[in-house]
Structure 1
Amino acid sequence: MWQQKIQQQTEKEQISVVNSKLFVEPDEFTINGDLLKFSARWLGQNQDILVYYRFHSKKEKEEFEKIQVPFVAETTGNVDSIKGPTNDNEFDFRRFMLTKNISNELQAKKMTVLPVLGNVGIKYRFSSYLHVLRKKMIDHLEKISQPLGWFTQVLLIGYQSESFQESMDQINKLGLLYLFTLSGMHVYYLVNLIRYLTRKMRVTQENTDILLLFILPIYGIIGGGSLGLLRSLLMSWLHIFSRRFSSVPLTGIETWSLVLLLNLIVTPAAIFSLGAQLSYLLTLILLLDHHKNQFIVGLKMGGFTIPLVLWHTYTWNIWTIPLSIMIGPIFDWFIFPVVIIGTFFSPLRGVCNQALIVLQWFFGWSSDLPGTIIFGKPPVLFVFIWLTLMLFYQITEQKIKLTVCLILSYTIAFCVIHFPIENEVTYFDIGQGDCSLIKTRFNKQIYLIDTGGKLTFNTEKWQIRNSRTNGETVVVNYLHSKGISRIDRLYLTHQDTDHVGNFPSISKNITVKQLMIPAGMEKLASFQRRLLISNVDPHVVKAVTDQAYPGKGLDLIQILHPFQSGAGKNEDSLVLLYQLYGKKFLFTGDLDQKNELKVIQKYPSLTADVMKTGHHGSKTASAPDFIEHLKPKLAIISAGRNNRYGHPDQETLLTLQKSAVPYLVTAKSGMIKIRTTFKGNFSVQTFNNNNNEEKKVKHAS
């Protein structure tokens, strides 16, 4: 039924809306630079929708920041379904939004804010007053001493400030994010605090229970309504209700089961999220092992979380389990009390803030310690095996045999991921940019050609957005999913941002052993600035031509261009030839037609089985004589969806058609993977909107 409902409300094709009205709560919107993002109730359509809007002026942004009450947004724009990932193992934002029962998004071009009162049929709900209170709390906590205000936002009202992102990344890296997500611990503290205060006021336990039955749902809204918080609140509510009004009170396991079933009925997609899986699983372990000491429980919780964390994040920190065991009491007796005291007792606010500064430093220091294992994404079969073995720990005495089985299965999964038997050439869907990966069998050689990067045009300070680059979210994420933690050679074909802009952010997450650039580019100020903020050692930078470090031999990349030192422009682009089992892969950067012809003049025997077309399919590249000379069996075009340049150009596509060259465009196909075999054939796999389709392309020996 849920699936049918989602399919019915999801727009199959993009539609335009004019003056469509949306009801927005004041704590539901976030502002990042010039981008406004919020989820809202689409009035008259009986569904929630995700909305994006770009501010046209600094004044408009400032006016929006002042809003603290519910409002109606009258919008004009385009509505479309939320798209799925287009790269292998990329974060599935579509599935994430389905956990909130949202399947459509609105790209608003025009927006007018209208008051709720005065719009016929729209009234304040009781929950709206709670959203107003939460918004005021968020704004107030932004103004007090930091990081105290940020910790309070996270721990008491489930809101994370953009300024607190770095600390949360450190906490996440250490595997301690569950401590800072509103969940069972926070509800436990809230219930105990209310019971303590009511006892002091001589309120009976029966009246306290009734009071809690009203307070817990209210806190669910003020706390942000996260799945972990709602699970814990509902379990507590059902437990109190059954004890007070039922002759047979529910046990902890029964309550847990009922809440899980309700969750599956209301938002079934939520169970695919890591947060939901950890929330329910760890709660179950605590219910089963509540009588055991914290050390044993901590080890078991670690054993249960590792499979899920590896499946979702591909990495594991060896300090997670010892820190989890140690930080539990610290959280109970230090972090939470300090946050409460500092927030509500202003005379002690300075001392509490300093204590949290020290804590913040500790998290930063701990996250920098060596110990992060890039494990990769395990096959789903292994995840089920590991969780099953951990469940057997609950009922069997043969702990040693189970431990041996766990160690052996983890070792097998690690080897399967880290020593693949296939060779692979991958063209990332990196938007309007270029990024390609060459990965040989057993991950013996890892080469990356360009990194992609986002172009910005006349951006003012108020428009700048804080966000991770797609070099991190796409490239690094994919490398980690394959258990890769280093790049043997990174080739930057030329200076353009859409080819090199992401290399600093990638280098901070993946070790770059050698950086190859066209001779002359090393002198550019733009390159030196990027090199300075990267983690690349300047001594591993090699400025190359076809004569300096040309590269020869099997499984190596040969440099065919530039012929001499230049300025890192399009006409100076690296041209790279990679050969494997008799198959040739050519990469040309943004090389122009004039220099393409010079390349085949100097290398008259040059051919290619797979060719990466120059300059994203622009008509400035892919000269007809060049294509006809190479006779590629497949052309790959890397271009962004709806890009402002009109790439790929129809002239280029016509050139490929005249030479009978089939082609794939990342804008339509998503990531493109080519796997080679000993027989001389290669298979092509494309990814688009989370639907994989595989094509076999056979060639004569």
Structure 2
Amino acid sequence: MAFFIAFLAGVILFYSLHYFPYTSSIIFFLFLAGLIFKKRYLLIPVLAFGVLYAFFRYAPETDFSNIRGKEIIVSGEFSPGAVAASTGKFIQEFHVSSAADEETGKALKEIEGKDIFIFSDAEFKAPSRSGYEIAVKIGRDHRKFNPGMAENNNLYANLIEVKDLRGGKKNIWAVFEDARARLNRYVTENFSADSGALVSAITTGQRSNMSEGLKDAFNSTGLAHILSISGTHFGIFSVLLFGLFRFVIKFLPYSWLQRITLYFTPSQGAAALSLPFMLAYLALSGWSIPAVRSFIMISLFLIGLLIGRKRFWLNSLLFAAFVIVLWNPEALFSLSFQLSFIAVLFIGGSIDYEKDEENLEAQDSKGAEEQKILLRFFASALRILRASVLLTLAASLGTAPLVAYHFHYFSIISPLSNLLITPLIGFVLLPLSLLSSCIFLFTGHYMFGSLVKTVTDITAYSVRFMAELPFSDIKIPAFPLFAVIIFYAGFVFYFFVSKKKLVPVITSLLMIAYLSAHIFLRGGEMGITYLDVGQGDGAVIELPDKKVVVMDTGKNGREVSAFLKYFGIKSIDALVLSHADSDHAGGADYLKRRFGVKELWDSGRIIYQEGNSTGIVRRILERGDVVEGKGYKMYVFHPYREFYTMSSDSDNGGNNSSLVLKIEGRNKSFLFTGDIEEEAEEDIIHLGKWLKSDVVKVPHHGGSTSAYKPFYDVVSPEIAVISAGRDNAFGHPHQDTLEMLEGAKIYRTDMNGAVKITEKDGQLHVKTYRDFMFSKTRNLAGEIKNIKRLFEVW
């Protein structure tokens, strides 16, 4: 156990050196001193090996800026199983073995060995792992950087032409990938959307086809672990295989059995026969981290049966972690790895605790009269029920801080849903779907299809029903990473240093106190976050009276949704749409479905689909309207009822009818301008001092059609925020606009990511996503900034 811990500690120290060089160095030498003091000299080279291994496997992030937008020739292999995109195209992963610029023929070494995601009109159903030479156009940089959103660094490209099919040889793993794709395709085509997505998730690990609504329902009910092939799936599969093979061996002819048992027991034979099938299931599941961890742990148990030795669960867990990190050191920092191993760690700890309690009960009951059979039965049932609840609570509470930190919720209904739904999935749906899948792959017939569909429909309905119950989960606002560190530090001490139960109790109480102080003392100030929604507009306004206003949604509303979830927000007090263009209002319906929108504000010039705003109060704003609240006022400057654009271009006409809204706080003011252009700017400059604002959201993404100098002279902003997409096709913001903003501090979402401006103590405080995130550093000043970030939220 100490060997694995030392190796993993070395890997962690290497990566922490990038962000905390001085602190990590001090910890490293303290670790060495501790090993020397304890006379554990053999562990010193293991620790050093961990550091060196991570160093040699480390791959710096690749900069693809020089190939974006270019047409290139790539050779490599398609992975089977394309995913249908919302645009109607297919997305399929392609592993690049070599690449060259189509125009110059120059080799592109930076893309070799990388995976790119190809958009095409059809799925490639050619033999898996066949060699292809294709022409593609690398997509523009459409990454978005916002709090609450995972960074997507995947490289995307559009397929232009298939130049050559090289016909490479299939290897054994390609056979499994073909089988996985074939099975997913059948399930998708023959099952309903929810049923097919659930069956694919538990049999092959394919979750891309699952709707957001169903994913959210599994999250809210604490059943998300079912969707990731892990211990539950491998445990049940191994038990079924072991029992089946043991049964078959015992019923062999007596003469055969007599000879076989000279060499191994039926249990050893069953264990040996189970292992290849477990490996096949691992390959079929897509080699996810939880699946690999579960396979290793269960394989160790089966090998223990073969050699007649039992293994301690913690050693098996650490060995599994060692193998995965040896395979890919960066896996140690993936959320999937962390949740998987923490859940097992807490489940194992709860089992040890339960055994200790049972031993005490056994000692207390010595000498007691033999209980009646009925009482024994009830006692056993109660023990099983208690163990089930304990395991569920252990996994849920153990992973709760990490889940709350990343996903901002805590499932209240999790113990009940796991008690009711997990057995249905684990002991009915999973065996049926696995057996049907195996038969399908060999015969083309999905034997128990009707039964699987029925059970899956019942499961999906039950999960959605429980998720919609009041208080099924609690939305948790963002909190500092330091709170998570406090919690797990106590349990690391308990599991690996000393079994003193007081330590994790104290650290848990410290975390709760820290979180309570952070969450309940927050607020009371005007804060506006201009989100990075790409080529569009979207902002979230936190008012002094703690009301939340959303100003435009971006193209799909996902960035706004993720940000609201980040702060644990369930409802929007007012959704304001400046005008109808999709880059400003395209996500309105998405937000209405996912949040309780109380009021919808617009200029009255937007036409909505009938029925999609039921129960929402619509307020039409025009020039002269004022909305007041505690510590703020909102003024509407444009448009007015008699305003009609002179432009013949319908797009420009919509732009010039954008709402222009000014929010005035206690001392500072913020101006929102939508996409107004010169015509509308000229129409409102007569308002003079009313337009003067400390912060302006620059109209129309900084385009030249909005570069009207008299307008900017009247507004005279201290800070200008430009919302534009990275590497956008329009060239926004234009140089003319930037020159007119000379004298103002300019922030751009395409360069800075999300921008937050807060009015506090009569001053404006600016925070950008780039400054907010941890950054690699080699100096003390940079490390101090990273330490401060441990205690900060957006």
Shorter chain as denominator, the TM-score bin is 0.7 to 0.9
The verdict on how the C-alpha distance between 1:355 and 1:550 changes in structure 2, with shifts beyond 3 A counting, is closer
Change (3 A) 1:615 1:378: same
Q: What is the SS of the residue equivalent to 2:114?
A: strand
1:662 aligned to which of 719, 738, 745: 745
Per the TM alignment, residue 412 of structure 1 is displaced from its structure 2 partner at its CA by: 4.4
| Separation in structure 2 between the aligned mates of residue 115 and residue 580 of structure 1, nearest angstrom | 64
- Matching residue within 376, 397, 406 for 1:303: 397
Change (3 A) 1:358 1:13: closer
2:101 is matched with: none
Equivalent position amino acid for 2:83 in 1: T
What is the distance in 1 between the residues matched to 2:72 and 2:306?
A: 52
Report the CA distance shift for 1:164/1:341 in structure 2 as closer, same or farther (over 3 A): farther
Q: Which residue of 2 aligns with 1:86?
A: 145
Q: 1:137 to 1:351 in 2, by over 3 A?
A: closer
Could you tell me which of 213, 234, 238 is aligned with 1:191? 238
* Matched positions, count: 644
The alpha carbon displacement at 1:501 in A equals 1.3
Equivalent in the alignment of 1:72: 131
Asked whether 1:14 is paired with 2:73, we answer: no
Deviation string, structure 1 residues 6-45 (Cα, Å, up to 9, x no partner):
5357246423573220122324x43324444333332256
Matches within 5 A, 1:442-453: 444-453=546-555
Q: Which sits farther off after the overlay, 412-421 or 487-496?
A: 412-421
1:248 and 1:398 map into 2 onto residues whose CA distance is 30
Q: CA deviation at 1:415?
A: 4.7
Paired letter, 1:434? D
Question: For residue 635 of structure 2, what is the aligned residue in structure 1?
Answer: 558
Aligned partner of 1:432 in structure 2 is: 535
Aligned pair 1:110/2:170, yes or no?
A: no
1:171 aligns with 2:236: no
Report the alpha carbon displacement of residue 4 of structure 1 after superposing the two structures with TM. Answer: 5.8
1:287-436 equivalences under 5 Å are: 287-290=348-351, 292=354, 293-340=387-434, 349-371=449-471, 372-388=473-489, 406=508, 409-410=511-512, 412-417=514-519, 419-421=521-523, 422-436=525-539
| Structure-1 separation of matches of 2:630 and 2:301 | 70
Question: What is the SS of the residue equivalent to 2:705?
Answer: coil
Query: Residues 96 and 116 of structure 2 are in contact (CA less than 8 Å); yes or no, is this contact kept in structure 1?
Result: no
**Secondary structure, in 3 states, of the residue corresponding to 2:404?**
helix
* 1:26 maps to which of 80, 86, 99: 80
- 1:140 is matched with 186
CA distance in 1, matches of 2:141, 2:682: 43
Per-residue deviation, residues 324-379 of structure 1 (Å, max 9, x unmatched):
23334333443334545766696754344223322221112112222232212221
With 610-619 and 541-550 compared, the bigger mean Cα shift is at 541-550
CA–CA separation in structure 1 for the residues paired with 2:629 and 2:218: 45
Cα distance in 2 between the residues matched to 1:631 and 1:224: 57
The CA deviation at 1:233 is 0.8
Contact 2:79 2:92 in 1 (8 A): no
CA separation in 2, counterparts of 1:81 and 1:617? Answer: 19
Report the alpha carbon displacement of residue 184 of structure 1 after superposing the two structures with TM: 1.2
SS at match of 1:508: helix
Separation in structure 2 between the aligned mates of residue 85 and residue 495 of structure 1, nearest angstrom: 23
1:597 has 2:682 as partner: yes
Amino acid at match of 1:21: S
Q: Which residue of 2 aligns with 1:129?
A: 175
Verify the 8 A CA contact 1:632 1:661 in the aligned structure 2: yes
Give the SS at the match of 1:162: coil
Tell me how far apart the structure 2 counterparts of residues 614 and 17 of structure 1 sit (CA, whole Å): 33
> Which region of structure 1 is more displaced relative to structure 2, 478-487 or 300-309?
478-487
Residue 480 of structure 1 corresponds to which residue in structure 2?
A: 565
User: Quick check: 1:208 aligned with 2:270?
Assistant: yes
Instruction: Assess if the C-alpha contact under 8 Å between 1:10 and 1:81 holds in 2.
Output: no
Deviates more, 1:569-578 or 1:104-113: 104-113
Distance between the aligned counterparts of 1:411 and 1:662, measured in 2? Answer: 39
SS at match of 1:131: helix
Superposition TM-score, scaled by structure 2 size:
0.73
Which residue matches 1:460?
A: none
Q: Which residue of 2 aligns with 1:698?
A: none
Equivalent pair of 1:418/1:482 in contact (CA under 8 Å): no
Are the counterparts in 1 of residues 628 and 634 from structure 2 also a CA contact under 8 Å? yes
Alignment partners' CA distance in 2, 1:278 and 1:231:
12
Deviation at 1:433?
0.9
Instruction: Indicate conservation of the 8 Å contact 2:243/2:270, yes or no.
Output: no
Query: Does 2:549 match 1:496?
Result: no
For the aligned residue pairs, the C-alpha RMSD in angstroms reads 3.4
User: 1:636 aligned to 701, 716, 721, which one?
Assistant: 721
Q: Give the letter aligned to residue 105 of structure 1.
A: L
Residue pairs, 1:605-624, within 5 angstroms:
606-624=691-709
State the alpha-carbon separation in 2 of the partners of residues 255 and 43 from structure 1. 36
3-state SS in 2 of match to 1:354:
helix
Report what 2:92 is aligned to. 38
Residue aligned with 1:676, SS: strand
Displacement of 1:507: 2.4
Given that 2:696 and 2:721 are in contact with CA atoms closer than 8 Å, whether structure 1 keeps it comes out as yes
Q: How far apart are 1:391 and its partner, in Å?
A: 6.6
Q: Which amino acid aligns with 1:380?
A: L
1:528 maps to amino acid: Y
Report % sequence identity.
21
CA contact (8 A) 1:39 1:48 kept: no
Letter in 1 for 2:463: F
Match of 1:627 among 700, 707, 712: 712
TM-score of the superposition, structure 1-length normalised? Answer: 0.82
**For residues 565 and 407 of structure 1, what CA distance do their matches in structure 2 show?**
62
Supply the AA of the counterpart residue of 1:129. V
- Equivalent position of 2:10 in the other structure: none
Cα pair distance change 1:391/1:137, threshold 3 Å: same
Residue by residue, what CA displacement relative to the aligned partner does 1:443-472 show, whole Å, maximum 9, x if unpaired? 62322211112xxxxxxxxxxxxxxx3x22
Q: Which has the larger radius of gyration?
A: 2
| Structure 2 unaligned regions, length at least 5 | 1-52, 99-108, 251-265, 355-386, 440-444, 645-652, 776-781, 786-794
The letter for the 2-side match of 1:677 is: K
Cα pair distance change 1:662/1:548, threshold 3 Å: closer
Give the 3 Å change call, closer, same or farther, for CA 210–550 of structure 1 in structure 2. closer
Conserved? CA contact 1:51–1:108, under 8 Å = no
Instruction: Return the alpha-carbon distance in structure 2 between the equivalents of residues 77 and 348 of structure 1.
Output: 42
> Do 2:271 and 2:305's aligned partners in 1 also have CA atoms closer than 8 Å?
no
Letter in 2 for 1:125: N
Are the counterparts in 2 of residues 14 and 80 from structure 1 also a CA contact under 8 Å?
no
Alignment CA distance shift 1:226-1:411 (3 Å): same
Contact 2:634/2:664 (8 A) holds in 1: yes
- Secondary structure (helix, strand or coil) at the match of 2:770 reads strand
Distance 1:179 1:75, change over 3 A: same
Partner Cα separation in structure 2 for residue 151 and residue 315 of structure 1: 22
1:51 aligned to 2:112?
A: no
For the residues of structure 2 that align with 1:186 and 1:53, how far apart are their CA atoms?
31
